[in-house]
Amino acid sequence: MTHGNLQAFDPTRDLLLERQFDAPPEVVWRACTEPDRVKQWIAPAPWVTVECEIDLRPGGMFRFLMKSPDGSEESANLTCYLEVVKEQTLVWTNALAPGYRPVGSIEHVPLITAIFSFEPSGTGTKYVARVVHKDEHDRKQHEEMGFYEGWGTCLDQLVAVTKTM
Amino acid sequence: MQPLDSRPATPEHLDATFAALADPTRRAILTRLAEGSATVMELAAPFPLSQPTISKHLKVLERAGLISRGRDAQRRPCILNATRLVVAEHWLSQQRTLWETRINQLESYLNSLKEQPL
C-alpha cells in the first residue's frame, strides 16, 4: 500500500470502515470502478443512482447522480480521481473537479477525500474505506502527548455530558 | 468577527467545528468547560502556554460557536455551547451511516454476483 504520507487518523473528522468480502480483489475492484456496477450499490436505499460516469485515471472524472424514490430530490456528486492503482488503491475527492481543478466549496456539501484499499485476504478481499474531512492550516502538532492521551475518550465523554445538559 | 449562529448545520459550521476540534489544547479546554464555566486564567492554568496563546484558542472556539464569553467584563467566564458539538458529532455519525450502508449494499451486490460470476 502506498499510504506513507497519510496523516494520522482523526476520529473527530475522519471515518474508517473495514469489511472482509468473500469476492477476490479483481471482482471488488470491478464493482467499484464500472459505472453500471457502481450504480447498484452507491445510493443508500431507497434512493437510486440514475447516472454514473467514470474516467478511471488520476485527474479523471467520477460522477454520480442519485435521486429520491419519488424523483423530487436529487444529489449530484462530481469528484476527481487522485490515485488509481488497479485492484489495490482508489482515491477520489470532491474538493477538486476533474482535471484537478479546485472547487473552493460546494453548496450544502462538505468537502471530503475518499480513500479505498483492496487487499487480498485468503480467497477474498480486505476492503478498507477512509473518508477524510478538510483540515485547517493552523492545525498544531501534538507535543505533550502524555497530557492529551485518551483525548478521544474525553471527547466521547464530553459529548455524553452535553447530551444530558 | 461574529460567531456563527446556531441555525441547522451548514458546511461552514461543520468546517469551523472540526477545525476547532483539530487541536489538542482546544479539546482539553472544551473538556474542562463541560464541567462548568471558567475564566481565561482558570483555563490557562493546566497548560505550559501563555495567556495570549490560550486567548487565541478561545477565539477559534468562540468563532466556531462552541463557547460563549460571559458579559462580566471583570471575569469574562467562558461557557460551553453544546449544540454545535452535538451537531458535528451527529453529522459524523450520519456520514458513517451513509458509508456503512453503501458498503452493506456493495456486499449484497457482490453476493448476488456469486449466482452469475463476472
Q: Tens digits of per-residue pLDDT, A79-109?
A: 999 999 999 999 999 999 999 999 987 776 7
- DSSP, collapsed to helix, strand or coil, labels residue B2 as coil
- Do residues A113 and A5 touch, judged by C-beta distance below 8 A? no
Judge whether residue A68 has pLDDT over 60: yes
- Which of residues 68 through 107 in chain B touch A, CB cutoff 8 A? 80, 82, 85-86, 88-89, 91-92, 95-96, 98-103, 105-107
Mean pLDDT value of segment B56-73 = 82
When scoring A20, A40, A105, A113 by the number of chain B Cβ atoms within 10 A, the one with the most, hence best to mutate, is: A40
Positions of E strands within B3-118: 67-69, 78-80
Task: Chain A: give the shortest CA distance to residue B42, in Å.
Answer: 17
In the chain, the amino acid numbered B66 is L
Mean pLDDT value of segment A61-65 = 97
Q: Kindly state the percentage of chain B with pLDDT values over 70.
A: 84
Q: What pLDDT, on a 0 to 100 scale, did the predictor assign at position A119?
A: 97
Say whether residue B23 is in contact with chain A using an 8 A CB cutoff. Answer: yes
- Do residues A91 and A82 touch, judged by C-beta distance below 8 A? yes
- Do residues A81 and A92 touch, judged by C-beta distance below 8 A? yes
Torsion sign, CA atoms B56, B59, B61, B63 = negative
Mean pLDDT value of segment B74-79 = 75
Q: Kindly state the percentage of chain B with pLDDT values over 90.
A: 16
- Which of residues 122 through 161 in chain A touch B, CB cutoff 8 A? 127, 129, 131, 133-136, 139-140, 142, 144, 147-148, 151, 154-155, 157-159, 161
Judge whether residue B29 has pLDDT over 80: yes
When scoring A19, A28, A29, A41 by the number of chain B Cβ atoms within 10 A, the one with the most, hence best to mutate, is: A41
Using a CB-CB distance cutoff of 8 angstroms, which residues of chain A are in contact with residue B22? 10, 12-13, 135-136, 139
Q: What is the DSSP letter of B39?
A: -
CB proximity list for A84: less than 8 A, separation 6 or greater: A56, A57, A58, A60, A90, A91
Q: What is the DSSP letter of B72?
A: -
Mean pLDDT value of segment B103-108 = 96
A159 confidence band (pLDDT: 50, 70, 90): low
Residue A36, C-alpha cell as written in the block: 453500471
Using a CB-CB distance cutoff of 8 angstroms, which residues of chain A are in contact with residue B23? 139-140
Q: What pLDDT, on a 0 to 100 scale, did the predictor assign at position A156?
A: 56
Q: What pLDDT, on a 0 to 100 scale, did the predictor assign at position B51?
A: 82
B92 vs A140, higher pLDDT:
B92
Closest residue, chain A, to B87 (C-alpha): A159
A132 vs A100, higher pLDDT:
A100
Mean pLDDT value of segment B11-36 = 84
- Do residues A105 and B79 touch, judged by C-beta distance below 8 A? no
Q: What angle in degrees, to the nearest 10, is found between the helix axes of B11-21 and B51-63?
A: 160
Using a CB-CB distance cutoff of 8 angstroms, which residues of chain B are in contact with residue A45? 101, 105
Q: What pLDDT, on a 0 to 100 scale, did the predictor assign at position B16?
A: 82
Q: Kindly state the percentage of chain A with pLDDT values over 70.
A: 76
| pLDDT digits 0-9 by tens, A4-57 | 445 677 777 788 999 999 999 999 999 999 999 999 999 998 999 999 999 999
Model-level pTM greater than 0.80? no
Q: What pLDDT, on a 0 to 100 scale, did the predictor assign at position B112?
A: 95
Q: ipTM score here?
A: 0.73
What whole-number distance in Å separates Cα of residue A132 and Cα of residue A93?
A: 9
CB proximity list for A52: less than 8 A, separation 6 or greater: A35, A36, A38, A39, A42, A63, A64, A65
Task: Chain B: give the shortest CA distance to residue A74, in Å.
Answer: 16
| pLDDT digits 0-9 by tens, B78-96 | 888 777 777 667 778 888 8
Judge whether residue B103 has pLDDT over 80: yes
- Which of residues 65 through 104 in chain A touch B, CB cutoff 8 A? none
**Site of grid cell 461543520:** B14
